[in-house]
Structure 1
């Protein structure tokens, strides 16, 4: 059964030889010989700085020991990798949900708003602790939003114009939608930014926090309910139920402590450039490649030479 067979997917973002030599070293250390090794197709625009392979592992491989060996070696070269059951890698997923801040975009929008409000450092420090799981998300969110009181709402448009979208988002969502996978943003950030990404990339639905505005300025008050970790988990489950999708056929991608509930509930949780507390609890990670690198964990990239 494929549930008992494993595949190791490795994505190199520097010297192909250096990264894959580390994989070979980890396998040799455990006296493991891959049954098959295949190169995966890489977009032409990335061919000079990305390469990928999938290793078919023999039955009975010690996944925990191999994981520990790879983690010890990965500091030597930029490389993303994941050990998955073959069934997980080739599964026909039907729903994918994404965190927004520091996942789909390379910033925290509440920090950007705070910078305009003159409280950037104060809010950024609270955000960092919340994303690391050191503070209660709801309490810290209320505290941060209160510091935005009086900010001119027009700054939202300025932030939207310069919002740094993560590399690979367009390719990822286009491919998921082409596969018939329903996509949603579940964000602890704010609706205008999530809706902007929805318009740009075609997400099917978005869930985020509202910005309360009165006479053109932010009131500093929070609109309920707050989209926190539990809200994200419940929304993932609700969308799956509504669309008659088994949770095993769902994907969740995120980076912070408030993403952990949905990452551990979905059939496949991917920690993207995640905080240490998340990396310790989510096995499938992506830390170097663009967000489209998630596709390699879904069996994408037709094998070269096949």
Structure 2
């Protein structure tokens, strides 16, 4: 339940002065009314109508339904001399509804949440009780408190979100990333509560092995008969063992003489990553802007932009002369630094502060972009990238990233059906 205590205006006929606003008033006596049992329509209204007869004020209200069982908590002010009667009436109403009731007296509101507030998303496929317990213990062990838990999704992964307070986000992220890496069966993302999930937001993705399952240059290389040679250079570059720009020129040179008409064949061969279409459709429906940046080629990324309805796209361009590739690229190279530069440009054009941007990538040439964004997500990434990113997802479903943004499965399904 939330921790804010509402301020009260002066009562009828009362006067106030500047001094009145600085006087501490004693916290009122309050009652925590809790009911639980089988859920059905009308229970929340029924409880509140029962309480209303005693003129109490609602301080806080929270309800959870799990597998058809409701837990409803109402924190209300005490009616004073009528408290005993209220207790009897609530228990009688609950019994008539075949519910159990518990009423606990106390003083004031919930205790204030600590400083350093974060959202912790835990993903598993499946999500084991052992792994979840380990994450919860690690949260407690670093001095933080779990204030609230909710499930975001049950498919294609199980995703739960913890609201946590009492420790700095970066400290919590380090602790939980270590625990997740040690276990290897669970992904954990930690974001500051200030990085909120609605309003103007921008998501920018890498393309090869992120938005799509393929490495585009290898698709071109297969038509040129040099796929194995290109793949070797690509892997070394993605591991950070080679300078990206040099490796790009070396690989593109192998395509010299290939007919431009192969572009249509390559476009047809491109396979979207599972969940990619759902990710983009959901983000767009919720008002996000979405872009892609790629060390690949505009001959493919422009088609993806148009097909998916993306807001931004940038990549390298294969030079064509007389209907054939020359083995060179034209224009400014989109490399590791270029991806971060493009993220900043897209954010300016979208009118979104960098703190409200999300970057997703898998390779070493995505690191600058991931570190520049408000939230950097490593998607099925190399170990170097997972260690450097804010969050890591290691399941083969790109739409899983939605849960890191606090978007629930119900919202995803609504986007799919257009509701």
Secondary structure of the residue aligned to 1:221 is strand
Alignment of 1:3-18 (within 5 A): 4-14=116-126, 18=127
1:292/1:3 CA distance change after superposition, 3 Å = farther
Per-residue CA deviations over 1:16-74 (Å, capped at 9, x if unaligned) read: xx5343121333366557333221244xxxxx652211123342385433332222112
136 and 35 in structure 1: CA distance in 2 versus 1, 3 angstrom threshold: same
**Maintained 8 Å contact 1:9/1:53:** yes
| Match runs of 1:213-232 below 5 Å | 213-232=320-339
Distance verdict in 2 for CA 1:57–1:210, change over 3 Å: same
**Structure with greater helix percent:** 1
1:12 Cα deviation after fit: 2.0
Cross-structure match for 2:178: 68
1:50 and 2:157 equivalent? Answer: yes
How much has 1:145 moved relative to structure 2? 0.4
Select the residue among 142, 149, 163 that pairs with 1:37: 149
- The 5-angstrom pairing of residues 256-267 of structure 1 reads 256-267=363-374
User: How much has 1:214 moved relative to structure 2?
Assistant: 2.3
Deviations 1:198-236 (A, max 9, x none): 122100121111121223221111212111111111111
Partners of 1:256 and 1:62 lie apart in 2 by 25
State the TM-score, normalized to the length of structure 2.
0.65
**Partner deviation per Cα, 1:100-152 (whole Å, 9 max, x = no partner):** 11110011100111122111111111111111111111111011100111112
Match of 1:103 among 184, 191, 210: 210
For the Cα contact (< 8 Å) 1:2–1:87, is it kept in 2?
Answer: no
1:240 aligns with 2:352: no
* Greater relative CO, 1 or 2 (CA 8 Å, sep 6+): 1
Structure 1 residue aligned with 2:358: 251
Q: Could you say what secondary structure the match of 1:106 adopts?
A: coil
Change (3 A) 1:166 1:291: same
- Unaligned stretches of 5+ in structure 1? 43-47
State how far apart, in whole Å, the 2-side matches of 1:70 and 1:277 are: 15
TM-score by length of 1: 0.87
Out of 120-129 and 149-158, give the one that drifted further.
Answer: 149-158
Distance 1:105 1:193, change over 3 A: same
Query: For 1:164, what is the secondary structure of its paired residue?
Result: coil
After TM superposition, give the deviation of residue 93 of structure 1 in Å: 4.8
Please give the alpha-carbon distance, in whole angstroms, between the structure 2 residues aligned to 1:35 and 1:109.
Answer: 45
Distance in 2, matches of 1:2 and 1:289, equals: 36
- Alignment counterpart, residue 79 of structure 1, candidates 159, 162, 186: 186
Q: Distance in 1 between matches of 2:138 and 2:336?
A: 39
Work out the number of aligned pairs and report it.
293
Aligned-pair CA distance for 1:3: 7.2
Q: Residue 128 of structure 2 corresponds to which residue in structure 1?
A: 19
Bigger radius of gyration among the two: 2
C-alpha distance in 2, partners of 1:233/1:11? 27
CA drift at 1:289: 4.5
Q: 2:406 aligns with which of 268, 292, 299?
A: 299
1:276 and 2:391 correspond: no
Q: Which residue of 2 aligns with 1:45?
A: none
- Alignment root-mean-square deviation, CA: 2.4
Flag the 1:30–1:255 CA change in 2: closer, same or farther, 3 A. closer
CA distance in 2, matches of 1:3, 1:153: 58
Which 4+ residue blocks in structure 1 deviate beyond 4 angstroms? 29-33
In 2, distance between residues paired with 1:216 and 1:26?
Answer: 57
